[in-house]
Amino acid sequence: MSEVVIETRNLTKVYRDFWGRPKVQALKALDLQVHRGEIFGLLGPNGSGKTTSIKLLLGLLFPTEGEARIFNEPTTNVSKNERIGYLPEETYLYKFLNAEETLHFYGRLFKMPASKRKQKVGQLIDLVGLSAAKHRQLREYSKGMQRRIGLAQALINDPELILLDEPTSGLDPIGTAEIKELIRELREQGKTIVLSGHLLADMQDICDRIAILHRGELKELGKVSDLLTVQDVTQIRARNLPPAALEEIRGIVARHGGGEPEIDHPTTTLEELFLRIVRESELHPGRRKVAARLDGAAEPAEAGQTS
């Protein structure tokens, strides 16, 4: 089992009003682990607790109950942030700076030497496809271009852990494909990536494991391939079979020269899985069905009603 980079146990966040009375329970008893070198997806509709979870991991919020650890250190340890890259949902950058100036600014925050910073800035601008616009002020950038420079600033410190909130928002299909390929390359470099979003097709393409949140509760957790497999349906595939052989199984297939058939389970789509989980959550509030073990092994268990 690979190293655990992120771990949460009973992580709970309740927002309170001016008088300290509970107002909104944004996150309820979140238990999960993220391992080194994987792409982990946080999925959920608006208000499901995705952004709250990321802010708790970064130490921008304090939990009401439970704990979260990154690199086996409490999230309150500020020094851990030197090893983290973060792209927020809204790109808050200085609009009067250009791409080069922006990345140099963030490089100075990490106390990078000038020679190393200059080299890194050039590499990142090329990496995110902004070479032709590197001297333009960010206020002239489209939303897609702002996401690209935002991703570049998240990588300026060569982080081990990268938290990306809606990384492909505002990008055209070509830009989306390029960013997804970049994320895969970062995984090949041994980096750990956590994606938050609701663009299900994108998450299905690149995530190793996903967690689906709804109304602050973890509803599903596991490998994408396991979650999308339709277990109660079996499909058989074979090549070069005459129509008569389609009514036969295995031995008859071999007799008709079709070769060894492929027998497995068909898969659904992440969109269909997501919508089914949300609908079931609406019908049965408080019922949670997630993987029984934190390591993501496929051992689903019905958690029943929770208070």
- Comparing 20-24, 98-102, 217-221, 272-276, which segment has the lowest mean pLDDT? 272-276
Q: What is the pLDDT of residues 44-73, one digit of tens each?
A: 888 888 989 999 999 899 999 999 999 999
Q: Looking at residue 241, what is its pLDDT? A: 66
Kindly tell me if the per-residue pLDDT of 298 is higher than 90. no
125: number of Cβ within 10 Å: 21
Of 186, 300, 9, nearest in space to 194 by CA? 186
Distance (Å) of CA 302 to CA 153, 223, 252: 42, 17, 40
Residue 301 has phi, psi (to 5 degrees) of -140, 140
Q: Looking at residue 169, what is its pLDDT? A: 78
Kindly tell me if the per-residue pLDDT of 114 is higher than 60. yes
Kindly tell me if the per-residue pLDDT of 213 is higher than 80. yes
pLDDT band at 217 (very low <50, low <70, confident <90, very high): very high
- Contact present, 64 and 231 (Cβ < 8 Å): no
Q: Looking at residue 295, what is its pLDDT? A: 47
pLDDT band at 286 (very low <50, low <70, confident <90, very high): low
pLDDT band at 279 (very low <50, low <70, confident <90, very high): confident
Q: What is the DSSP string of 112-157?
A: --HHHHHHHHHHHHHHTT-GGGTTSBGGG--HHHHHHHHHHHHTTT
Indicate the DSSP class of residue 208. Answer: S
Lay out the sheet containing 4-16: strands in order across.
22-35, 4-16, 65-70, 73-74
- Contact present, 302 and 284 (Cβ < 8 Å): no
3-state SS assignment for residue 220: strand
- Rounded to whole angstroms, the Cα distance separating 147 from 141 reads 10
Kindly tell me if the per-residue pLDDT of 232 is higher than 80. no
pLDDT band at 290 (very low <50, low <70, confident <90, very high): low
Q: Looking at residue 188, what is its pLDDT? A: 92
Q: What is the pLDDT of residues 145-166, one digit of tens each?
A: 888 999 999 999 999 999 998 8
The mean pLDDT value for 220-248 works out to 75
User: b or e along 22-34 (b: 16 or more beta carbons within 10 Å of the residue's beta carbon)?
Assistant: eeebbbbbbbbbb
